[in-house]
Amino acid sequence: IKNGTDAASLKTALEAASFKVESVEAKPARRNPYPPFTTSTLQQEASRKLGLAPALTMRIAQKLYEGIDLGGETVGLITYMRTDGVQMAGEAIAEVRRHIGRDFGDQYVPKAPRIYTSKAKNAQEAHEAIRPTDPARTPAQMRLHLSADDFKLYELIWKRTLASQMESAELERTSVDISATTADRKLDLRATGQVVRFDGFLKLYTEDKDDDDDEEGGRLPPMKAGEIPFRERIESVLHFTEPPPRFSEASLVKKMEELGIGRPSTYASVLAVLREREYVRLEKKRLVPEDKGRLVTAFLESFFARYVEFDFTANLENQLDRISNNEIDWKEVMRAFWLDFSAAVGDTKELRTTEVLDKLDELLGPHLFPKRTDGADPRACPRCGNGRMGLRLSKTGPFIGCSNYPECRFTRPFGVASPDAEAEGGSTTPDGARLMGDDPETGLQVTARSGRFGPFVQLGEGEKPKRSSIPKGLTIAGITLEEALKLLSLPREVGKHPEDGEPIFANNGKFGPYVQHLKTYANLTAGEDVLTIGLNRAVDLIATKREKGPGRFSRAAPQGRPLGDHPEGGAIQVLDGKYGAYVKWSDVNATIPKSIDKDAITVEQAVDLIRARQAAGGGGKAKPARKTAAKKAPTDKAETKAAAKKPAVKKPAAKKTPPKKKTA
């Protein structure tokens, strides 16, 4: 269907048509169950089904492996969670089969136990698959003993283990032809999919897909020729050709396993580093590269290509396996690696900065300077016209600048700009600031910029234009003109103080947003908006500040979000601090890692972070002050007399010494 006119015509015809099933072609098929979980498949499926990051999945699995308290006894609920083996012990298989027959019926138990072997590269299979230690501990029985996330992961492992030993599903791959007849035309429709004749393991478990690319199609209801289907609705939807989807955390783990990169214990840490160093961001469960990540990747591909090739890590893993089998000498492997690597580092050190920048500029060019719709040169300088934009380096980091410097001083921040808007003069100013529009009251231009103390918005130009910091949660690219004008309208009068009638103002300062009453200034806490804070809260902050008295560090105590109670008593709070979000219990502060969303953190995760912090020596009871070591008492009478007769030692007068000669 080439255009909207054809689509509208077909939709009109189908809405007036009568339908009939002309033929049904069915071919029998069987679908076998999936093997029990390995570390990789557990992380993938927990990401797809439960939305858990791999690092969080492994923390929960560690807890389930170490055990929980069941009636005064600590019981491990699952086997070891770092494994690439899919095999199960014979007694475990027998117990699972008995449980299937008892709960689902004998028709769901295959005649012979299922035996699985790993297909992953470099699989060592040193441990069993991840399975429940006792299938009789059903998720329903464990629900009261586990937190929400712990329960979900245990239920996932339990179902996958039982499904791996269940009977195959019996299906029919079906094609159905349906005729749609109108007064003047006949249209042929076709549906393809599967009809389930016996659900088998599907009764308990279905594996999710990374993308909607199931080649076997969806499920169809049973149909036969001659039936008159009921028309539910006719939809006309416009689709565009899209590039392949970006990696999710699940699909990236799957790809690393296929390529033989890493081990079960390293998948989660690899993904955590990518996010913690801000090389990527997670957007709709997809890993989207940041400009910093692109820059690092371009550098490594340009000067250390061998060490970032897909097969380098896999080949090194093979060598490590051979070392463990005593087939090769580890010293020879290390020597060969170090000779080549040190040579690569030495060659790179000899390069001039301009050579490195030119190479990076060439590789990142298509990303930094996308094609314009008008066909103009995307690298042309929008200010001087004859200069070429390219990658430059300063003390504060990379940026985009004109080749005609210093005659032309046009720059913009490192990253992708809109070349079409820039060409029209509607995106950036000559110094690289983002144009947002005009202030309707003054007619002055509003821009968003990046400065020494972070991003800010500015009204007009000149020697001292009005400026206001962009708060956390907003970016230069994302802030709207309306939000910018509200920030530039600060300070805002919140209301009159109930005691003296003097105004209370809210404003942005060098150290963040604050409220002011006369000469008292109180900082706002995390989560409070300078544009919306109310009078009651402002009065409370002012009163708290006055109670603490003046001083450099006497800002209002942070008011965190209550999360729940600690098992040992006392409330747990989630707060934002100078170095990021953290949880607080009693006098213990534990940083929330970037892999955990502070708004979605659970009490159990917070308790784990607090205990880890205590184990590392943070928080808890104050340590006693160090005491000066006492002099050893005399051990006998002779020593006592000698100590008594010993005269006091006088400090000798300082002697004047000639100055020493200075040496180079």
Q: For 418-434, give one letter per residue: b (16+ CB within 10 A) or e.
A: ebbebbeeebbbbebbb
Tokens of 387: 């200069």
Task: Sort 75 into a burial class: Cβ within 10 Å, 0-12 / 13-18 / 19+.
Answer: middle
> What is the sign, positive or negative, of the torsion defined by CA atoms of 419, 423, 429, 435?
negative
CA distance 513 to 526: 10
d(C-alpha 353, C-alpha 325), whole Å: 45
> What are the DSSP calls for 400-457, one per residue?
EEETTTTT---EEESS---HHHHHTTSSB-TTSPEEEEE-TTT--EEEEEEETTEEEE
Does 34 qualify as catalytic in the annotation? no
For the CA atoms of the chain, what is the radius of gyration? 34
CA distance 490 to 179: 67
Beta-bridge partners for 380:
388
Nearest to 180 by CA among 18, 22, 15: 18
Burial category of 515 from C-beta neighbours within 10 Å (exposed 0-12, middle 13-18, buried 19 and up) = buried
Distance between the two ends of the chain, CA-based, in angstroms?
A: 85
Helices marked H in 16-104 — which ranges? 39-45, 54-66, 90-104
List b or e across 267-283, with b for residues whose CB sees 16 or more CB atoms inside 10 angstroms. bbeebbebbeeebbebe
For 428, the token pair is 């950036």
C-alpha–C-alpha distance, residues 455 and 452, integer Å: 8
Which own/partner pairs from 532-538 qualify as long-range (CB within 8 Å, at least 24 positions apart)?
533/494, 533/506, 534/494, 535/494, 535/495, 535/504, 538/494, 538/495, 538/504, 538/506
CA dist., res. 170 & res. 631, Å (int): 86
Q: What is d(CA 428, CA 412) in angstroms, rounded to the nearest whole number?
A: 8
Locate 221 and state its tokens.
Answer: 């209801």
Q: Does residue 268 contact residue 55 with C-beta atoms inside 8 Å? A: yes
- CB of 39 within 8 A of CB of 128? no
Of 277, 292, 223, 281, the closest CA to residue 248 belongs to 281
Which residue of the set 34, 65, 80, 116 is catalytic? 80
Total length of the chain: 664
Output the CA torsion sign for 357, 363, 369, 374. positive
Of 427, 418, 473, nearest to 448 (Cα)? Answer: 427
Angle (deg, nearest 10), helices 90-104 and 148-163 = 90
Which residue from 440, 437, 389, 439 is spatially nearest to 415, judged by alpha carbons?
Answer: 389
Positions annotated as catalytic residues are 80
